[in-house]
Every structure is written in C-alpha cells, then in structure tokens.
C-alpha cells in the first residue's frame, strides 16, 4: 500500500531480479528455455511496462505506441551503421530519439483526452508508418527496411582499430557478442532496471498524482494542479520505454522495418497490458510473456500437427476438431489474438491480476466462513498498486 | 478598508441572452464568514464558478489579496489560495481516503507541477501527517485506508471538506455545505466551520439553510436575479423588507 | 483548369467513401455513445458481400472448348452460362449492382447481431473498454475474411455498360482532356443519394427525429418513455448498411482485401475529428474535403515540391485543425469529451 516501508520495495526488486535471471531454468519445463524467445519476453516486457505507465496510471489509452518502438529500432540501426556496433550508444541514441518523437506526438495528442486521445495517437502513428514507407525512405530504406551494409562508416569502431570483416559485423557489448545467452542476459538486466524505474514511479508522489488524474482529472485542476505537464512527462517516459524496447529488437537482429510501427503492433501492446492487468506492476509483464509464448507455440502449429495431436480420437472427431482449431493457429494466430482481446475485455477487464485477486479473495472468504468468523469485508488493500 | 481579501467588482456574465450575473460588487473581509444567499437560479453558483475560474466573467474583475485573478486558470487560482468545496462531492473515487487528502496537500506543498517520479512516497512524512491531522479533526481517521468510492454521501462531503482544509486556504468557498444533510450532520458541519472560523480563515458560504447562515455568518449578501439586492450584517439583512419581498416572499424570519 | 477539375473529381470518390464511413461512425457515436473501432470492418464486410456473390455466381465446371478443333481443350464455364446462356453472363457482369440489393439485408442483419450480441453490453462501460472490445472484434472479423478469402486483393469489375469514361470535359466545354470513369461518377451520385437518404430519414420522419433528439439529450428522451434502445439498434443497423454499401460500391475502384477496413477506419476517424465529433454534416463535409485535398496532394506538381505529401496530408490537416479549432470544424461543445 501507500505507506509500506521502502523495505518492501527492495524485497520486490530482489524477488523480481531472481525470477528474471533464473528464467532459463524455470522456463525449461515449458519448452521456452532458449535465448531468442526469452529475449523476446524481456523486450516486450519492457514495452508493456512502459505502456502501462501511461495507460495503467493515467487511463490515457494510446493506440500509437508502436511508432516509438519503430523509431527506437531505426535509431539503433543508424547508430550501428554510423557509430559503432556497441549496443550502449545504440540504446542511448534510440531512447533520446524516441523521447524527442514522444514530445512532438504527446504535445499534439494530449491536447485532448478520452477517445480523442486514442484516435489522435492512432492517426499520428499511422502517419509515421506511412512516412517511414514513403517520404522518409532515405532514412528508413522504405519497404526493404534499414539494415547493415558493407561500407557503413561506423566511425567509433574504426577509430578504435576495428577492421572491416568479410561478413556483416554483429552487435556487441565491448566485444561480448549479443547473441545467444549473453544477449538474453543483457536484455534481462535492462528489463530489471526498467522495472525498477517503473516501481519507483508507481510509488512516487508523481505516480499518485497520475492515478488521481485517472480517477478525476477535473478535480485535479481545482486542486491546484496543472495536469498537462504531468501527462506529457509520463507520455514521454512511456515513449522512451518503447524506444528502448525497439532498440533491443535491433540489438537482437540489426534491421528495422516500417511494419513494426503498424497499428497491429500498437494493438498488441495494449492487449499485453490489459491481459496481465493494466495499472498493476507485474501484470503487463505476465501479459507480454504469455502472448509471446503462445505466439511462438501457436504459429508453429499447422493442420498436420493438429491431426497428430488429435490422433487418439476417432477419425471424424479428429477431423472435426482440426477443422475447428486450424483457423486459430499458424497463420491464424491473429484471429486468436483478436478473440482473446474480446474475451479479456468482456469477462476480465482487470486482467489476470484481477482474476488472481478475486480467487484469493474467494479463498479468504471461504476460509473465514469455515472459521465461523464470517467477517464479510476483508480489509485487504483493494488497491491497484500491488504487484 | 485594507483588510479586504476578495474584491469582486462590476462582474457581468451572460449565457446567450440570459443575464446570469448583473453588475456584481462584493467585498469579503479577512477572517470573516461571508454568506451569499438567494432563491434558486439567482446566480449563486455562477458567481462561485466565476471566482474559482470555471467561468470567465464577460466584464469586471475579481481581485484576490490585491492581485487580479480574473480569467486565470483554475489551478492558478487554487494555488493563489482560493479553494472551493463542491456541492456534489468531487473526490478521487479510486484512491483511498488518505490518498484523497494527500493529493491536495501535495499541491500546496509542491505547486502546480512537480516531477518527483523517483522519490518514494514513504519519504513524504510531513504531507502524510498533515493529511492525517485534518482527517482526525473531521473524524475520518479510522477509515483512511478505505477506497473513497465506499463512502456514504455524507462522508464523501466530509472528505471534500478535508481535502479543502488540508490546503490551508486563505479563502474557502463552500457551496451549500449542508444541503441534503440530516440535522445532526448539519450541526456537526456548523461546529466544524465554527472551529476553523476561530483560526481566522476567511470563508464564503452559499447556503439555503437559514439556521446555518445565521449561526455562522458575519456578513450576508442577498442575490436575486443575478444582482446583489442587499448586503450587510445578519441583523440588518434580516430586517430588510426588500430581502423579505424578493427572497422570502414576504414571510418573516 | 482541366487538371484542377480532374483532381476535384478524383478526390470526390475517395472522399465519398470517407464521408459514408464517417457518417456511420458519427451516427453511432452520437446515439449510442459508443466508439466503434469495428466500423471499418463493416465497410470491408460489405465489399466481401460482393466478392462472395461473385464467387457464388461464377462457380464453374470444365466444358469442352468447341472453338478448338484439332485437340480436346476444356475451359471453365460458369453454371450460370450453361443454364441461362447470355442472360447468365449478363447476371455475372452485373454482380456489383446485384450485390447492393443483397448487401442491404445482409448488413442490416450483421449490424443487428453486432449491436444485440456485443455492443449493447458496453453502453455503460468506459470508452477505453468500448474501444478495446470493438478493436478486438475488428481483428476477428478481418482475420475470418482472410482465412476464407485469402490475403490477396480480389479484382472486381463494374458492369461493361459503365466501364468506360465519361467525357465530362467536352460536355462542359473544357476540352477533351477531362474524362472521368463512369463508375466513379456513379459512386459519387450514389454517395450523395445515401447521404441524402440518411439526412431525410433523420429530419423528415418522426422516427428519425426521436433519434436526433436522443443524440442531443439521451436522458431526457429516455424519460419521455420512448424506447430509445430499440431505435438505437436500428441506427446501428443503418450505420452498418451505409458502411457496407460504401464497401460494395468501392470494389471496382479498389480491389478489396481483408485489411481495407482498418485502412479506411483510421482515415475516417481523422475525418470525424476534423468534422467535429458528433456533427453529421461535419463528417460528410470533412470527408469530401479531405478526399479532395488528398487528391490535390498527389498531383505530380505538388509532389515534386513536397515529396510524399499525399501520404500524410490528411493527418497534417487534422493536426493543424485540432491545434486551431480543438472541437473540429462543426463540433459542438461537450460532445464525447469524457
């Protein structure tokens, strides 16, 4: 709750760090323990945590956050091309460019609230997407996407005595190549830092003010607050998170394409956040992990796999089930996403975290009924800041 | 008269063809309770809204502590020290009571904008204590960790009061603080107001309940059809035939 | 002058599509208070009513090709041609106009099902939740279409009789350079007809007047004891039909694919914002205006100076309008500002 001692924050951080760093161990039983996938969990986790700072705290629903993800990727690839294959300058550069971009978009779209805001962010992101495809081809390399080339200047690398190699160079952290497990651990450390900042924001006076804005923005004005700068700051921070995630995508695979900025990508981060639970600390991470995990599994399934999976059934049942399930897997993964989207909003608007809270509340109530005390109101923190 | 806190002069406000406020002149003295009464639709709420910046007057000026606040943004007027208690409770339903009171306390401490996103709330002991003190004063202390949406309507209004008092306003505007309250709650509110009156805070009250007005007010202005028809100490207003005609329909108080 | 006229004409058909989608969006906003992100999907579904009908009419079998005499050749011949001869071919030729007749009941039904099955449960929920659930619905609908009809655009043709171009220029005495495809001209007239019909319904029938009153002040109308709910279901159905018909008519201009709905929806939202949320005339005017503007921006003279401007002009205009007139061109105060 509000007044917990800071010690609890340290506890949360310690547990979180342990959980993230041991991911290769405990994801093994789910068949997810390989660096590429775990890296994706971490990157989209960062994206979702950043989105949640905006949507979860202020209630401002941005439908254009993928634009910042794309901008981050482009900026990082440019840093690889011009400066160095080292990931640190790329990340810093990406965050700065994303921040700049977020200031521009935020300045315009935060002039309105509610649905206007959602529509504006959607439109501005779509405009960025169109521009990346057409006008800005010199910067984005249009449809092909921006990628490394032989003869990139890479001034820092060459200044420090690197030599042109036969193949394209790979991203590194002071010589440590960012592929395989080192790549995952790098993303994991960045995720831990990003989560820590999110935790601090949640538990700061600033975070409290943001939640008050969500609850009753009008009242905030008559309470002496100029709300717009607060909103702009959190919008920019949130955009920087997306830029960071975009740069990490470029770290794992140094190319950037406009499709990363499309509205479907913006929709995906919204879904991750609400699936896990908007406004909760770890909900968005849960959502991001689950969606990326099932995307990975579902996309790989085709009719052949389904047939063999249902082979224990009689033929006609097998065919029938395959017919029903097939549109939802493989190419049809997006259909599953859309259906999941609707199901979450209709049945569990608070996301998985809300579900857990309801279950524990139910368990407590049953327990207290058995104990014969029957106190109906459990004084538990009915509050969203909990993780 | 150099102890005038609020000076409203020549304020006009029309909506379309309707004149809601017609040449309003009003002076509120420091440390006094000034009541504004009048029949429904007389323009009382419009006047309050003009003072706190929800509405901008067509002409005229509102001077607070020697400084013009006409046309200023609501948050600037609040920061200047003019705080309003709303008639229908305007609270933060998703936050706890304590958080509800801490928000205005932060506004007074930190100003309209402060980007302290890396600071822990735990370090804000002073704000918390200030909030708890006010809540203790108003008897909300025992439920401070409940979400505000749980409260009864009467408790929500007390919470509103707490949110306003914690800002330590130089001028407090109360819009019908006892409307819809039971006699007991009304008396309790009067008692609270008398207590804070003793601390020398200036207040403007808009009220229907004559019992409340006459037990609190130092000065009464009567508003009818957008104009002030009479202004003075309670005993003067009570005996004024114009007021009785316009407001009370001739009946004696 | 010729080029000028031509650009205006070119802008009008795209603008017409924006106007029709924005009209339905605004109707649903205003009456039901719901932001429908699945509205673009209705436009797309309309187009696919035509595609489905075309597929149905052209179900074929292999028939010996008599014109080839020296070996056995076969060609695909639609059953319709086999059964009805030239009449059958004519029916196939007129698939788009026939689809319009078919689309009205189909879209009305889809609209009713959508409103009764999903939207009605979201009247009392937050705008964010309305946006999210309809967004999910839009994805589901477009993915179903993709699974059924594939991802590639499907070419549709206007009837032969109107496949040429109208010599508008010579008719107006402006020279022969100005020609305009007949179908686009029809599309424009059709748009005007639909807009006129919707406005007539709202302004001239008592039923429509109640709906308009509901747009202005929902609670009061509810208090009058009128079952506004039933009317709102019909309004949603009408919006679905308008969007669907726009989709059917647009197929010869732009071969439909599964994501056309979302493409048009984003622009239509911008149109609604520019026109002023909740203003029907605003939506229609802004739709045509932005369509024409986009058409001018894609002239090579303009593009030489400002490359790529045609891609972003609509958004730029929206941003400028929003900064200068936050409520849009014809917006009223307090509409959808929660």
Which CATH number is A210's domain given?
1.10.3470
Half-sphere exposure (CA, 13 Å, Cβ side) for B2? 0
- Residues of chain A found within 8 Å of residue C139, distances taken between Cβ atoms: 264, 267, 334-335, 337-338, 341
A75 vs C224, which has greater pLDDT? A75
- CA torsion sign, B74 to B80 to B82 to B85? positive
B112, A208: Cβ pair inside 8 Å? Answer: no
Q: Do A337 and C139 touch (CB under 8 A)?
A: yes
Confirm if C31 and C215 have CB atoms less than 8 A apart: yes
Q: Where are the domains of chain C?
A: 2-258
Contact criterion met (CB < 8 Å) for A267 and C137? no
Structural domain spans, chain B: 1-81+171-253, 88-168
Residue A215 lies in domain: 32-274
Instruction: Using the predicted structure, report yes or no on whether residue B47 has a pLDDT greater than 80.
Output: yes
Q: Which of A10, A224, A228, A385 to mutate to test the interface with B (most CBs of B within 10 A)?
A: A224
The pLDDT value recorded for residue A113 is: 84
Cα distance between residue A259 and residue A243, in whole Å: 15
Nearest-CA distance from A359 to chain B in Å?
20
Residue from A200, A216, A220 nearest B121 by CA: A200
Look up residue A325 and give its two tokens. Answer: 């399930």
Residues 6+ apart with CB under 8 A from C54: C92, C95, C99, C154, C156
Residue C39 predicted with pLDDT over 90: yes
Residue from B154, B155, B123 nearest B142 by CA: B155
User: Helix or strand or coil: residue B84?
Assistant: strand
Q: CA-to-CA distance for C142 and C42, rounded, in angstroms? A: 10
Partner residue facing B117 (CB), from A2, A6, A200: A200
* DSSP-derived secondary structure letter, A378: -
Q: Chains near A, with 3+ CB pairs < 8 A?
A: B, C
CA atoms within 13 A on the CB side of B206: 22
The predicted-structure confidence for B83-141, as pLDDT tens digits, reads as follows 988 888 899 999 999 999 999 999 999 999 999 998 888 888 999 999 999 999 888 98
Q: What is the mean pLDDT of residues C52-58?
A: 90
Whether the CB of A380 is below 8 Å from some CB of chain B: the reply is no
Residue A385 has a pLDDT of 39
Query: What does each C-alpha distance from A311 to A142, A297, A301, B111 come to in angstroms?
Result: 46, 19, 15, 69
At residue B55, does pLDDT exceed 70? yes
Residue A152 lies in a domain: yes
SS3 content of chain A, % helix, strand, coil (to 5): 70, 0, 25
Q: How would you class A21 by CB atoms within 10 Å of its CB: exposed for 0-12, middle for 13-18, buried for 19 or more?
A: middle
Tokens of A128: 């960025």
Q: CA C170 to CA B117: how far, in whole Å? A: 69
Q: Which residue stretches of chain C are H helix?
A: 2-32, 39-57, 79-84, 86-93, 95-117, 127-149, 168-171, 182-204, 206-216, 218-223, 228-250, 260-275, 280-297, 300-305, 309-324
d(CA A1, CA A380): 10
What pLDDT band is residue C226 in, cutting at 50, 70 and 90? low
Give the CA dihedral C144, C146, C148, C152, nearest 10 degrees. Answer: 170
From first to last of its 387 residues, what are the pLDDT tens digits of chain A? 445 677 888 999 999 999 999 999 999 998 888 899 999 999 999 999 999 999 999 999 999 999 999 999 999 999 999 999 999 999 999 999 999 999 999 999 998 888 889 988 998 999 999 889 888 888 898 888 999 988 888 888 888 877 777 778 888 888 888 888 999 999 999 999 999 999 999 999 999 999 999 999 999 999 999 999 999 999 999 999 999 999 999 999 998 988 899 888 999 999 999 999 999 999 999 999 999 999 988 888 877 777 777 778 788 888 887 777 777 777 788 888 899 989 999 999 899 999 999 999 888 888 877 654 444 443 333 343 333
Interchain CB distance below 8 Å, A2 and B110: no
Kindly identify which residue of chain B lies nearest to residue A382, measuring between CA atoms. Answer: B147
**C-beta of residue C77 within 8 angstroms of C-beta of residue C61:** yes
> What's the pLDDT score for residue C118?
93
- A96, burial (CB in 10 Å: exposed 0-12, middle 13-18, buried 19+): middle
**CA–CA dist C50, C41 (Å, integer):** 15
Q: Tell me how far apart the alpha carbons of residues A71 and A98 are, in angstroms, rounded to a whole number.
A: 6
Tell me the pairing of strands B67-68 and B59-64.
Answer: antiparallel
Q: Which residues in chain A are closer than 8 Å to B86, comparing Cβ atoms?
A: 222
Q: What angle do CA A109, A114, A118 make, to 5 degrees?
A: 55
Assigned domain for A41 exists: yes
With respect to residue A99, please indicate whether it lies within any of the assigned structural domains. Answer: yes
Identify all chain A residues contacting B127, using CB atoms and an 8 Å cutoff. Answer: 205
CA nearest to A212, candidates A197, A225, A200, A201? A225
Tell me if chain B has a CB within 8 Å of the CB of A200.
yes
Distance (Å, whole) CA B149 – CA B143: 12
Surface of A (90-119) touching B: CB under 8 A: none
On whether the CB atoms of residues B96 and A215 are closer than 8 A, the answer is no
Higher pLDDT, C174 or A133: A133
Query: Which of A232, A258, A265 is closest to A104 using CA atoms?
Result: A232
Query: So what's the pLDDT on residue B181?
Result: 79
Helix (H) or strand (E) holding A73: helix A66-82
The helix (run of H) or strand (run of E) holding residue A368 is helix A351-370
Considering only CA atoms, which of B55, B72, B53 is closest in space to residue B20?
B55
Query: B124: which chain A residues are within 8 Å (Cβ-Cβ)?
Result: 205
Enumerate the residues of chain B whose CB falls inside 8 A of the CB of residue A227.
Answer: 75
pTM for this one?
0.90
**DSSP state at residue C237:** H
Q: Is the pLDDT of residue C246 over 80?
A: yes
Q: Residue B187 pLDDT > 70, yes or no?
A: yes
Contact B83, B164 (CB under 8 A): yes
Contact A284, A48 (CB under 8 A): yes
The token duo for A51 is 């989105």
Q: Is C321 helix (H, G, I), strand (E, B) or coil?
A: helix
Distance in angstroms (rounded) separating the CA atoms of residues A7 and A14: 11
Integer Cα distance of A8 and A309 in angstroms: 46
Give the span between the Cα atoms of A370 and A367, in whole angstroms. Answer: 5
Q: Which residue has the tokens 């008050």?
A: A212
CB atoms within 10 A of CB B253: 12
Q: Is A259 left (phi over 0), alpha (psi -120 to 50) or beta?
A: alpha
* Residue at A219 is within a domain: yes
Interchain proximity A226–B113, CB inside 8 Å: yes
The distance in angstroms from the start CA to the end CA of chain A is: 10
Q: Lowest mean pLDDT of B61-65, B244-248, C59-63, C149-153, name the range.
A: B244-248
The CATH H-level (homologous superfamily) assignment of domain B1-81+171-253 is: P-loop containing nucleotide triphosphate hydrolases (3.40.50.300)
Measure the CA–CA gap between A328 and A321, rounded to whole angstroms. 12
Which residue matches tokens 């709650």? Answer: B185
Contact between B172 and B202 under an 8 Å Cβ cutoff? The reply is yes
Q: How far is the C-alpha of A141 from the C-alpha of A139, rounded, in Å?
A: 6
């Amino acid at each position: 709750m509000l007044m917990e001692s800071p010690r609890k924050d340290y506890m949360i951080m310690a547990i979180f760090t342990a959980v993230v760093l041991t991911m290769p161990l405990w994801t093994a039983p789910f068949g997810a323990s390989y660096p590429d996938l775990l890296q994706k969990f971490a990157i989209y986790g960062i994206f979702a945590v950043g989105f949640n700072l905006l949507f979860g705290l202020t209630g401002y629903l941005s439908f254009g956050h993928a634009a910042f993800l794309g901008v981050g990727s482009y900026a990082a690839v440019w840093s690889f091309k011009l400066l160095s294959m080292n990931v640190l300058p790329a990340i810093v550069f990406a965050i700065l460019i994303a921040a700049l971009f977020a200031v521009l978009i935020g300045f315009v779209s935060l002039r309105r609230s509610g649905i206007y805001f959602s529509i504006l962010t959607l439109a501005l992101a779509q405009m960025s997407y169109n521009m990346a495809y057409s006008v800005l081809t010199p910067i984005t390399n249009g449809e092909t996407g921006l990628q490394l080339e032989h003869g990139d200047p890479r001034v820092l690398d060459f200044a420090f005595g690197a030599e042109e190699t036969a193949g394209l160079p790979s991203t590194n952290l002071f010589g440590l190549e960012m592929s395989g497990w080192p790549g995952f651990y790098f993303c994991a450390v960045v995720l831990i830092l990003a989560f820590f900042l999110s935790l601090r924001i949640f538990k700061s006076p600033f975070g409290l003010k943001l939640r008050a804005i969500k609850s009753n923005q009008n009242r905030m004005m008559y309470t002496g607050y100029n709300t717009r700068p607060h909103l702009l700051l959190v919008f920019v921070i949130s955009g920087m998170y997306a830029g960071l995630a975009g740069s990490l995508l470029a770290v794992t695979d140094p190319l950037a394409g406009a499709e990363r900025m499309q509205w479907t990508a913006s929709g995906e981060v919204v879904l991750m956040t609400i699936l896990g639970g908007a406004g909760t600390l770890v909900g968005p991470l849960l959502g991001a992990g689950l969606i990326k995990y099932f995307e990975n599994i579902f996309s790989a399934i085709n009719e052949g796999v389904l047939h063999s999976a249902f082979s224990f059934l009689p033929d006609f049942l097998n065919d029938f089930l395959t017919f029903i399930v097939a549109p939802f897997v493989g190419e049809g993964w997006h259909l599953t996403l859309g259906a999941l989207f609707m199901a979450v909003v209709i049945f569990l608007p608070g996301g998985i975290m809300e579900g857990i809270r309801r279950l524990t509340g139910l368990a407590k109530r049953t327990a207290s009924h058995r104990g014969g005390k029957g106190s109906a109101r459990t004084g538990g923190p009915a509050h969203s800041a909990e993780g | 008269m150099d102890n005038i806190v609020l000076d409203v002069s020549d304020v006009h406000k029309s909506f379309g063809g309707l004149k809601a406020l017609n040449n309003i002149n009003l002076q509120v003295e420091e440390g006094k309770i000034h009541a504004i009464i009048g029949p429904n639709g007389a323009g009382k709420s419009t006047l309050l809204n003009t003072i706190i910046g929800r509405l901008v007057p067509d002409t005229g000026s509102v001077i607070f502590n020697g400084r013009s606040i006409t046309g200023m943004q609501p948050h600037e007027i609040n920061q200047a020290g003019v705080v309003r208690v709303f008639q229908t409770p305007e609270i933060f339903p998703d936050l706890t009571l304590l958080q509800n009171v801490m928000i205005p306390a932060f506004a007074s401490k930190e100003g309209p904008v402060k980007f302290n996103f890396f600071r822990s709330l735990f370090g804000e002991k002073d704000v918390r204590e200030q909030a708890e003190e006010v809540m203790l004063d108003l008897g909300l202390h025992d439920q401070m960790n409940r979400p505000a949406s749980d409260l009864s309507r009467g408790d929500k209004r007390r919470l509103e009061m707490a949110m306003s008092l914690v800002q330590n306003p130089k001028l407090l505007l109360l819009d019908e603080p006892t409307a819809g309250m039971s006699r007991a709650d009304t008396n309790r509110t009067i008692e609270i107001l008398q207590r804070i009156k003793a601390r020398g805070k200036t207040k403007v009250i808009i009220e229907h309940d004559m019992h409340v007005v006459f037990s609190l007010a130092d000065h009464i202005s009567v508003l009818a059809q957008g104009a002030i028809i009479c202004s003075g100490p309670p005993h003067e207003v009570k005996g004024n035939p114009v007021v009785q005609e316009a407001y009370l329909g001739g009946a004696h108080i | 002058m010729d080029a000028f006229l031509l650009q205006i004409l070119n802008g009008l058909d795209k603008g017409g599509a924006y106007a029709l989608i924005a009209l339905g969006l605004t109707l649903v906003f205003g009456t039901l208070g719901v932001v429908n992100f699945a509205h673009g999907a209705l436009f797309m579904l309309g187009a696919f009513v035509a595609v489905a009908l075309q597929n149905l009419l052209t179900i074929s079998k292999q028939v010996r090709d008599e014109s080839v005499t020296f070996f056995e050749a076969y060609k695909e011949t639609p059953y319709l041609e086999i059964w009805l001869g030239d009449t059958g071919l004519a029916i196939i030729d007129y698939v788009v106009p026939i689809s319009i007749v078919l689309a009205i009941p189909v879209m009305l039904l889809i609209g009713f099902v959508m409103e009764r099955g999903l939207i009605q449960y979201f009247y009392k929920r937050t705008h964010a939740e309305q946006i999210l659930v309809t967004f999910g619905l839009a994805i589901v609908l477009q993915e179903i279409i993709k699974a059924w009809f594939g991802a590639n655009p499907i070419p549709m043709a206007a009837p032969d009789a109107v496949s040429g171009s109208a010599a508008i220029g010579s008719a107006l005495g402006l020279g022969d350079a100005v020609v305009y495809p007949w179908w686009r001209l029809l599309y424009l007239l059709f748009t005007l007809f639909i807009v006129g019909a919707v406005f007539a319904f709202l302004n001239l029938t008592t039923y429509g007047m109640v709906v308009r009153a509901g747009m202005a002040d929902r609670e009061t109308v509810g208090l009058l004891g009128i079952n506004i709910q039933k009317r709102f279901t019909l309004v949603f159905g009408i919006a679905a039909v308008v969007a669907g018909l726009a989709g059917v008519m647009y197929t010869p201009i732009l071969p439909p694919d599964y994501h056309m709905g979302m493409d048009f929806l984003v622009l239509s939202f911008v149109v609604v914002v520019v026109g002023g949320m909740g203003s029907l005339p605003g939506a229609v005017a802004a739709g045509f205006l932005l369509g024409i503007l986009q058409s001018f921006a894609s002239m090579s003279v303009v593009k030489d100076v400002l490359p790529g401007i045609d891609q972003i002009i609509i958004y730029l205009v929206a941003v400028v309008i929003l900064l200068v007139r936050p409520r849009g061109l014809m917006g009223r105060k307090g509409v959808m500002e929660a």
